Structure 1
């Protein structure tokens, strides 16, 4: 049978012989058009990834759970929007993350980005079918657990926002320091050039003084010679 989930998508749901629920996500739009189809692909990527055995193992730990759920949600949201043709700047704005974070997920530089990409490839090949144990009644305290998970997720998101803000501040500070260093280098180069020019000027003055001294010495020799001849003339006269 088909059911309409909260995003408005039609999902094929059946049951296996053991009573487990089989969810077929092969009809999810791979190149979504509009917000509705983006949400469909986003949710399929999240669900398809969360039910991978290694992820189920990770989210048993409350700390890992909040981190992974948030990372997978951001990566899935970014991937679905990218497939819809949205630019990175718009994706970052819609998801409340930096463009660097979005690119890291889309370029599969993060574990979450790699997992979401693998899930998308399964969707693309029509291989994404989930067999989920059917639970007739929720366990006691199920709503409380969901509430705790939501609170943990929101706390983690807030921490991520604070960290990204701090990273941006440090990046700006680094750029400012780099500009200061560059300005100092330029000032040092200017002073070195000025020093070289003054050194050349000083050497020129020294050379000129040497030549002038030589000319004065020559003039004095000639003067002494003339005076000596004049004295001799006076003495013989």
Structure 2
């Protein structure tokens, strides 16, 4: 059963969303503030998050960067296009404006959950790149590329959500469990070396820098 974390301090809206999601067969967890949400996420890993922006204490925009490994749909009354663009660039996977149609929200949830790799799958693919989680081997055009532990951890993270832009702090937080030898001052060097190794086989650029934000896999 997929678990969805609803982060919203509006009890009525949260109750309506929870009731609907439960009827659809989802397990629902609730958080009513940014601080409470981070505490929950320090212990649990839901499959998807519905995030309101106007929260007491830490607001949605402040806690969004802490959710880099989990699909996030922002649910907000803000309708300004620049707000939506900024949030999507900061790591949100989708954005729906309040008031919303519940059928549309369910459809957006289905789309995001469909993108998640099955935990039984140990092979990631992105264009010419293949990454094997079991053997820790990486291939470009079927040619094995020798990566350091840190380079492998960075590539694995980016390939898990290839359309998502990861900030430097996101990357450091997410790869900390896989490698301890990467710090902020050396991150650019690791990414530069990784890009060169991937490019050495096909002359293609697979990782792009999003100016002023971070890095993501490069779509053709």
TM-score, structure 2 normalization: 0.24
Higher strand residue share: 2
Structure label with greater radius of gyration: 1
**Higher helix residue share:** 1
Q: What is the TM-score of this pair, normalised by structure 1?
A: 0.23
